[in-house]
Structure 1
Amino acid sequence: MEKPRQGLAGLCNISFGFFGIQIGFALQNANMSRIFQSLGEDIEKLPGLWIAAPLTGLLVQPIIGHLSDRTWIGRLGRRRPYFLAGAILAALALFVMPESPAIWFAAMMLWILDASLNISMEPFRAFVGDMLRKDQHSVGYAVQTAFIGAGAVVGSLFPALMESMGISNVAPPGQIPDTVRYAFWFGGLALFLAVLWTIVSTSEYTPSQMAAFEPANANDAPTARALAARSHVASVGWIAAGLAAILIQIEFALLREVQLLGALLIGYGVACMVAVTLARRGSETNMLSSIVGDFAGMPPLMKRLAAVQFFSWSALFIMWINTTPIVAQYHFGTTDAASAAYQAAGNWVGELFAIYNGVAAIAALTLLPWLSHRLGQARTHMVGLACGAVGYASFFMLRDPTQLIFSEIFIGIFWASVLAMPYAILASSLPQAKLGIYMGLFNIFVVIPQLLVATVMGSIMQALFPGEPIYTMAFAALALMMAFIAMARIDTVPIAQ
């Protein structure tokens, strides 16, 4: 039995909520460094404050993926309860964030905001697979990418729009400009309404319908059984690696965020040890063993795509953290976060981010399908990765702020590709019953590189290029070259027209 084909309206309704979610992410990505520096934080400490974003994603996404596979709440269904809960919490966080009285409060609100956005976002990835036939996965993720791009354009332009309306874009030292405050408030309302539209305009397939669409496969049995056969050697290895990271931080006086990296490695090792022990005792339904078992038993294609994601998102997180201080220092000639020039740079970065997201929205519906028909999904993504590397490298050559538009065009093509191609390649190869958990685990390779950047990049820059954030773009370009090489190991055929 086949799922019915979705028309254009159905495709749009399924992903429209992502328009609002991405408004929230865009406001966060373009403005959090600005908020932290406006509250008085040093540039070298920004990666440590940004650690909230990847850490919450690392913890939240697998859990939400696991739970959403097993949820059915009356008329709300399987994924939509998480859309609603996350949207409410994220909207509240966006309303409170610009009222932060101090850096610690802003960092705490970033944790809450990112966790809430992840609660809504993770099930949206699986929602496309739930609602669409396999031959519509590519167009489904392309439409989702278009909404992501459109939402990011709106979120990125909010502060500049507020300034054009006569709202003050500067504030006394230690305070956040009104342009940013109002942008976050309007963004919170837009986020909630967009997610609510998807909730009321879609109706999920019932568990019995899903079972009819895709009968259970013997290979989909709980992976906790396979986990019981594993030894504790790997767990001990993770713990040893974490202890080594902590000792290196102490020995070389690196930034304290490296200790958090070590603690996470130790925590994962302990979690693996506990999961194996529970599985050996015959507990196959506990969440920890299920998540660890599914992570250890990822399909080979997923493992190869995970390497590509790791390098791709390392580059993206470097860009989100550093673009504002780079543009302020090298294109507007200031490092003073309280100056009008710095705030003007912050608004220009918002417009640049809007440009790359606008390019992504257009490329997702035009360039990527055209390339996929001729090159296949894998080689299309290689083109996107190469465009990203060119975009980041060009920051070294362009000094006129307006010329950075060319950089953002290349980055926009890369952004469209990274949001659509890996998920389109992966979705058709995963069992429907585990789509949520596997999408959650796949997104671990979105957040782990961000976590590494947040914990390690500050120490690297402090040691090699203190006060020179432009060199982070070299690391970003190199990361995308590594992603390009990793993508070459994956092959897909062109899509028949």
Structure 2
Amino acid sequence: MFSSKRTLNFKQMINLNLGTFGILFAWQLLLANMSGIYAFFGAQESDLGYLWLIPSILGLVAPLLIGYLSDKTHTSFGKRLPYIFFGSLVAAIFIFALPNAPSLKFSILFFCIFTAAINAALQPFRALIADIVPAQEHTKAYATQAVLIGIGAAFSSSLPWLLLHIFKNGTSITVGVPFEIKLAFYIAAVALMITVGWTTLKTRQYLPKQSGVLKERLFHTSSIGLKKITSSFMLIPKIMLQVSIVQFFTWLGTFCFIVYFTPAIEQSIYHLPVAINPGLSNVLSHQLLEKSVVLNGLACAVYMTINIIYAYCIPFLSKKITRKVVHIISLMIGGASLISLLFIHQAAILLIAMIGFGIAWASFNCIPFAMIANALPAEGLGVYMGLFNVSICLPQIFVSFFAGYILRVLLKGDAVILLVLAGASMIIAALLTIPIRDKSVKEIV
């Protein structure tokens, strides 16, 4: 432990954020493959949103609970690290179990447990940076985190494609989860525990002196977590509310993309009719679904690679044109990339389009957190970061409830049009960023 915030050198910054590499290695692998895995177990495209519903709700509740508990925790490893480590441990166990689930119901159950655990691990990382890093280095710290997130996510997304080519002889199956995807899950579980273990051992957290006046103001009614969260909600800074609205529309589009990108690839690239149920023992259906899932992962690897490059440009661009302007431009580019999918029918061009989405991904995983971090009180930081996560999870719940109906009834099963609407949502988010007054400190790059 140390008693005041201090400037971190490059090695210390990497040690602090390395765990996010493993967490996003695992999380992105599941994000890229779960719709496909559900399909391998027999799910229909129009049902995918409902199958993501419970994980989305858990993603809403878990960060609030973990934020509250971590604010109250004091151990020799700090406030956040115990949740990061044990959340990762549970997540790793269910990464191993998920591709071997005996049925669709068990795959849903395992994914729900994984989602709660991975949120328990990831959410404290946001607060950990604000706990440890001085305000003038928040953008650089979150950008470093975004880079490591991008490296982990890019590698894990491309892993099924790489393993498919390494083990291309004698591993094809006509039912169930393909071998290369199972092996990728096992590798992700190991990577998760190694990197989080390293961060846990190498990081020591700054524990500030409590501000008695503010603590009394925020939490005097509460020894109960719900009251504490409610009192914090009533005192949300204006900029946090504004940025939360932007995040809502950003993630409305992003989650549509995550859930329905595989069906869109099936329809636009491989021309698989919507009526075909990929989960049935139809050899052609299974092969095309496998190709779509692998291409989805490769596309994710492309935008995550761009995320790596662009994330380190963000602090420099922010000094030149302000981080608000950077965010507006980035979201516009991302939205245009999703809209362009309407005109794409070749895999190579699809991968090129993912460059724009990678720019947006880097921005909305860095700049919104840097914008609000300086405005939040240290005493309730975990709770506030949990509340901010609501702006990410609510649109996921909305998509889970309504996107399936929209796809089936209004769009007649056309997943590509749904992704066009997702792009429009990101452009709305960019426009909503314009009125925000970001009172940022001078950034040290």
With normalisation by structure 2, the TM-score equals 0.93
In the alignment, is the contact (CA less than 8 A) between 1:17 and 1:198 conserved in 2? yes
1:393-451 per-residue CA deviation (whole Å, 9 max, x = no partner) reads: 11011111110122110000000000000001111111111111111110111101001
Partner of 1:315: 253
Q: Cα gap change, 1:493/1:55 in structure 2, threshold over 3 Å: closer, same or farther?
A: closer
Letter matched to residue 299 of structure 1:
P
Letter matched to residue 309 of structure 2:
I
The 5 A counterparts of 1:100-249 are 100-167=101-168, 170-173=172-175, 175-205=176-206, 207=207, 210-211=208-209, 216=211, 218-223=213-218
In the alignment, is the contact (CA less than 8 A) between 2:331 and 2:430 conserved in 1? yes
Partner of 2:10: 8
- Please give the secondary structure, in 2, of the residue aligned with 1:221: helix
Partner of 1:451: 397
In the alignment, is the contact (CA less than 8 A) between 2:139 and 2:443 conserved in 1? no
Letter matched to residue 84 of structure 1:
F
Partner of 1:405: 351
In the alignment, is the contact (CA less than 8 A) between 2:26 and 2:156 conserved in 1? yes
Distance 1:224 1:87 in 2: 29
1:370 and 2:372 matched:
no
How many equivalent pairs are there? 431
Instruction: Tell which structure's C-alpha radius of gyration is larger.
Output: 1
1:393 and 2:339 matched:
yes
- Sequence identity (%): 28
1:439-468 per-residue CA deviation (whole Å, 9 max, x = no partner) reads: 111011110100100111111222211221
In the alignment, is the contact (CA less than 8 A) between 1:315 and 1:476 conserved in 2? yes
Partner of 2:282: none
Deviation at 1:219, TM superposition (A): 3.7
Letter matched to residue 24 of structure 2:
Q
In the alignment, is the contact (CA less than 8 A) between 2:265 and 2:296 conserved in 1? yes
4+ residue runs over 2 A deviation: 167-173, 217-225, 335-339, 491-497
Aligned match for 1:339, one of 286, 294, 299: 286
Distance 2:13 2:389 in 1: 22
Distance 1:460 1:364 in 2: 34
In the alignment, is the contact (CA less than 8 A) between 1:169 and 1:343 conserved in 2? no
Partner of 2:222: 284
Distance 1:407 1:62 in 2: 35
Letter matched to residue 312 of structure 2:
L
In the alignment, is the contact (CA less than 8 A) between 1:70 and 1:78 conserved in 2? yes
1:339-394 per-residue CA deviation (whole Å, 9 max, x = no partner) reads: 3222112111101001101100110012x123201111111110111011111011
1:417 and 2:419 matched:
no
CA RMSD of aligned residues (A): 1.6
In the alignment, is the contact (CA less than 8 A) between 1:16 and 1:195 conserved in 2? yes
Distance 1:153 1:92 in 2: 22
- Please give the secondary structure, in 1, of the residue aligned with 2:366: helix
- Please give the secondary structure, in 2, of the residue aligned with 1:54: helix
1:464 and 2:410 matched:
yes
Q: Cα gap change, 1:103/1:375 in structure 2, threshold over 3 Å: closer, same or farther?
A: same
Partner of 1:480: 426
Aligned match for 1:32, one of 34, 53, 75: 34
Deviation at 1:221, TM superposition (A): 2.8
Q: Cα gap change, 1:41/1:170 in structure 2, threshold over 3 Å: closer, same or farther?
A: farther
Aligned match for 2:435, one of 489, 492, 495: 489
- Please give the secondary structure, in 2, of the residue aligned with 1:223: helix
Deviation at 1:2, TM superposition (A): 5.2
Aligned match for 1:351, one of 264, 286, 298: 298
Deviation at 1:484, TM superposition (A): 1.3
Distance 2:426 2:182 in 1: 34
Aligned match for 2:69, one of 56, 67, 70: 67
Distance 1:136 1:428 in 2: 10
1:433 and 2:435 matched:
no
Deviation at 1:136, TM superposition (A): 0.9
Structure 1 gap ranges (5+): 226-282
In the alignment, is the contact (CA less than 8 A) between 2:137 and 2:443 conserved in 1? no
Letter matched to residue 37 of structure 2:
I
Distance 1:185 1:29 in 2: 15
Q: Cα gap change, 1:415/1:169 in structure 2, threshold over 3 Å: closer, same or farther?
A: farther
Deviation at 1:220, TM superposition (A): 4.1
The 5 A counterparts of 1:379-390 are 379-390=325-336
Letter matched to residue 110 of structure 2:
M
With normalisation by structure 1, the TM-score equals 0.84
Q: Cα gap change, 1:433/1:114 in structure 2, threshold over 3 Å: closer, same or farther?
A: same
